[in-house]
Chain A
Amino acid sequence: DSGVTQTPKHLITATGQRVTLRCSPRSGDLSVYWYQQSLDQGLQFLIQYYNGEERAKGNILERFSAQQFPDLHSELNLSSLELGDSALYFCASSVGGTSVHEQYFGPGTRLTVT
Chain B
Amino acid sequence: LAKTTQPISMDSYEGQEVNITCSHNNIATNDYITWYQQFPSQGPRFIIQGYKTKVTNEVASLFIPADRKSSTLSLPRVSLSDTAVYYCLVGGPNQGGKLIFGQGTELSVKP
Contact = CB atoms under 8 A, between A and B. Distances in A.
Interface of A: 2, 4, 31, 33, 35, 42-45, 48, 50, 55-56, 58, 88, 90, 92, 94, 96-108, 110
B34 interface: yes
A105 B97 contact: no
Contact of B97 (A44, A88, A101, A108): A101
**Majority secondary structure of chain B interface residues (helix, strand, loop or mixed):** loop
A105 B43 contact: yes
A92 B94 contact: no
User: A-side binding surface: helix, strand, loop or mixed?
Assistant: strand
Range of interface residues on B (Cβ < 8 Å): 20 to 34
A48 B97 contact: yes
Interface in B76-110: 87, 89, 91-104
Contacts of B94: 98
Contact of A99 (B98, B102, B103): B98
Nearest to B46: A102
A2 B43 contact: yes
Contacts of A58: 98
B8 to A, nearest CB: 12
Contact of B41 (A33, A99, A108): A108
A44 B99 CA distance: 8
A99 B93 CA distance: 6
B97 A94 contact: yes
A60 B99 CA distance: 14
Nearest to A33: B97
B45 interface: yes
Given A42-B101, A43-B101, A97 B96 contact: yes
